[in-house]
Amino acid sequence: MDMRKFNAYGPGGIAQYGQPQNYELAGTKFEFVMDDGIDYTLNVIDKTTLEWNFEGQAVQTSHDYLCNKADDTTYLLSYELENTEKRSNHTWVIDLDNQLVTRILCVVGENPKLPYLIVPRYEFGAIRNGNEEVPVYPRHGFTLDLVGTVVQWMYGGMTTVHLYNHTHTYRITYPSELAASRSFNETLSKLPSPDEPARYIKIKEGMYLFNLTESNAERVLKGEGFMFRSNSMAFLQNYMRVYTVGRAFGTTTIEGKENHLHLTYAAYGKVLDAAEDARIEGLMNEHNPYVV
């Protein structure tokens, strides 16, 4: 497989067996009371359009938003900001069970030396219910629950193994018994290690938001032989079903052509025992060369 021509997000890639887009929130207006002190209004007008604004700022419009569900009451909603100098994305986990929200903000182009680099920002909050006072706790929050876990995710035409090895990073590999995995593992071998920045957020019992950023690969390779240009990938993981819905935002460059990514995907998972696979166990315990 020629990785310069393969599109992991196209036909046969991770988006192939994603859910149909969910429009249940159409006609719903939310007020999110955020812990950074700047409240946020999200008005999902219909199946294609929503309006949003930070408190005290003008109302903005975004079209073709993406929305999937990880269970009956927990939504992953994402949209690109329009008419901005730098490509920007807002992604929300809307948890109607607990009336809580988590936000990920991503901007492409904030680093002048690495124009594709994304550094996600996270914020927590609650959903206002009418005139009721919004409690200051509990909230979704960063967690250690997943650290030490290994999960194989199957997207249909593609399979990956995630190693959740640290509070702020993760590692990826591909099943060695699959022929299609060889090219992916060969590409990873060009890096000092497959470690990439990641954060783990507990949404509720059995439900986690995992967000990774292809940052180290971008810093080291700068697109040479690696088409994924610092993409941010958010996985809303339901461990009651071992199922995830996700969102990718960022850029690929294939044969010199720049492609903007904003899409959703889904996968079924299987929790693995690292001790049963010497290769995975060794990878799980290797030192991260990106830190001292």
Listed in sequence order, the DSSP H helices in the chain are 181-188, 216-221, 278-285
User: Is the distance from CB of 44 to CB of 24 less than 8 angstroms?
Assistant: no
> With left for phi above 0 and alpha for psi between -120 and 50, is residue 206 left, alpha or beta?
left
125-143 pLDDT tens trace: 999 999 999 999 999 999 9
Domain 28-139 in CATH 2.40.128.20? The answer is: yes
Burial of 246 per CB tally in 10 Å (0-12, 13-18, 19+) = buried
Task: Establish whether the linkage from the previous residue to 112 is cis, with ω within 30° of 0.
Answer: no
Residue 108 burial by Cβ neighbours in a 10 Å radius (0-12, 13-18, 19+): buried
CA distance 16 to 157: 7
The answer for 218, left when phi > 0, alpha when psi is -120 to 50, beta otherwise, is: alpha
Q: How far apart are CA 196 and CA 185, in angstroms?
A: 15
**Burial category of 51 from C-beta neighbours within 10 Å (exposed 0-12, middle 13-18, buried 19 and up):** middle
Q: Domain spanning 142-285: which CATH class is it, in words?
A: mainly beta
Domain(s) of CATH 2.40.128.20: residues in the chain: 28-139, 142-285
Which two three-digit tokens encode residue 22? 């969910």
Q: How much is the pLDDT for 248? A: 97
Give the H or E element holding residue 247: strand 243-254
Q: Are 150 and 172 in contact (CB under 8 A)?
A: no
Whether 210 shows a pLDDT value over 70: the answer reads yes
Residue 44 has pLDDT above 60, yes or no: yes
State the average pLDDT over residues 68-74.
97
Alpha-carbon gap, residue 190 to 250, rounded angstroms:
21
Instruction: List the one residue out of 25, 30, 54 whose CA is nearest residue 40.
Output: 54
Does the structure show a pLDDT above 70 at 8? no
pLDDT recorded at residue 1? 37
What tens digit of pLDDT does each residue of 249-263 get? 999 998 889 999 999
- Work out the mean pLDDT of the chain and round it to a whole number: 93
Quote the pLDDT of residue 5: 44
pLDDT of residue 2: 44
Q: CA nearest 158: which of 17, 1, 3, 4? A: 17
| Residue carrying structure tokens 């929050």 | 141
Residue 181: other Cβ atoms inside 10 A: 18
Burial zone of 67 (CB within 10 Å; 0-12 exposed, 13-18 middle, 19+ buried)? buried
Using CA atoms, how far residue 192 sits from 230, 279, 280, in Å, is: 16, 16, 16
Averaged pLDDT for residues 262-272: 96
